[in-house]
Amino acid sequence: MEYLPFILIAILALFMAMPLFAWLSSKRMQGNDAPDYAALLAPEQRGKDKLLFYFGSEHCGPCRTLAPLIDTMAERYGNVVKVDVSRQPAAARQFGIRATPTLVLVEGGKVVKVMLGAVGEKQLDVLLR
């Protein structure tokens, strides 16, 4: 029983390290070439230089909260690509997505910005302009 506190601390450390790992891997994506995403685009999105990829899932609470705002921005700007990671896991793997919701801004074929978690309308507006 004298090892129980150490085991609990190790488990807690693992749970704390997982979000950090997701954040670090997302930051490493920035500045790199975007993976091939042509299959994810709607016909009207092809040829656009700036695209915002939204990776979410219907099983994710923050994703369900963010989804209506993403839909509004998609209608307003037309360059938002919604990817459901539970239906398109290959696309999520291709982009290196480790957590949802994740937003990936691709401009000129390069990953410009990666944002983890829910964001506000002003942040999205700034990204998409």
Domain harbouring 77, CATH code: 3.40.30.10
Asked about 43 being catalytic, the answer comes back as: no
Please give the residue range of the domain that contains residue 38.
4-128
- Count of CB atoms within 10 A of residue 25's CB? 15
Asked about 107 being catalytic, the answer comes back as: no
Cα 47 to the chain's mean position, in Å? Answer: 22
Could you tell me which of 2, 4, 104 has the C-alpha nearest to residue 54?
A: 104
Residues 6+ apart with CB under 8 A from 119: 66, 103
Identify the active-site residue in 34, 63, 83, 91.
63
pLDDT at 61 over 70: yes
pLDDT at 69 over 70: yes
Q: Which residue has the higher pLDDT, 22 or 73?
A: 73
pLDDT bucket at 39, cuts 50 / 70 / 90: very high
Provide the 3-class DSSP secondary structure of residue 77.
Answer: helix
Could you tell me which of 112, 106, 125, 114 has the C-alpha nearest to residue 49?
A: 106
Identify the active-site residue in 22, 29, 34, 60.
60
Domain count along the chain: 1
pTM listed for this prediction: 0.82
